[in-house]
Amino acid sequence: MNIDFLISTLNNVENPKRVNRNKAANIVLEHPELVKHLVDLTFKIDDKISIKASWILEWICTHDGIQHILPYIDVFTENIKNLKFDGALRTSAKICEHLATDYDRNPTSETKKKLTNSHIDTIIETGFDWLITDQKIAVKAYTMTTLFLFGKYRDWVHTELEHIIRTTVIHESKGCEARGKKILTLIHKRNNS
């Protein structure tokens, strides 16, 4: 299977409904060589196909495992800062949260082995950019969790994250306020333990 087949599959995904994403994801999982093309299409930032590609990539990482992105982690981390479309930003922020969760939760995971300091630093830097720019609530919510988890491994991150949450993010919406308060509680528990 090649990229043209994948594009044809993605063009048949009419909307992000569960059934559509699941069907396309299953096609990609039956042909694992398509994952590389899915990552490449996710970062075709001026083409709306990137939105559909990111929907399927996130679906695969969420429902079949984050390990699918790991062979392409260089491409993923180098390019997340360039995303423009809301749909691609949201799904990539969720993938970052999955990476951070797996990295933090499982000391023997493939994520822990494959994610370098450079990858983590790029995700952190991009995450802070997402928090201080005009992004949707979901992007900011996933990002706050990602930054909290990776902040366990970078001593400066929690201080910056707490400042941004208190001064801006928490005042943006009810969703940001709820996630912000949760993250502030986790930071304080961690600092007081």
pLDDT in tens, 91-106: 999 999 999 999 999 8
pLDDT at residue 15 in the model:
75
Global model pTM greater than 0.75 = yes
Of 64, 96, 113, the position where a domain reaches its end is: 64
pLDDT at 191 (0 to 100): 86
Nearest CA to 44 among 32, 27, 57?
57
What does the pLDDT read at residue 42? 96
Which residues in the chain land under pLDDT 50? none
Domain that residue 177 falls in:
86-193
Structure tokens at 10: 């993605």
Domain count, the chain: 2
- The residue with tokens 């951070």 is 100
**Residue length of the chain:** 193
Q: How far is CA 49 from CA 42, 64, 67, 142, 149, in A?
A: 7, 22, 23, 23, 31
Q: Are residues 90 and 131 in the same domain?
A: yes
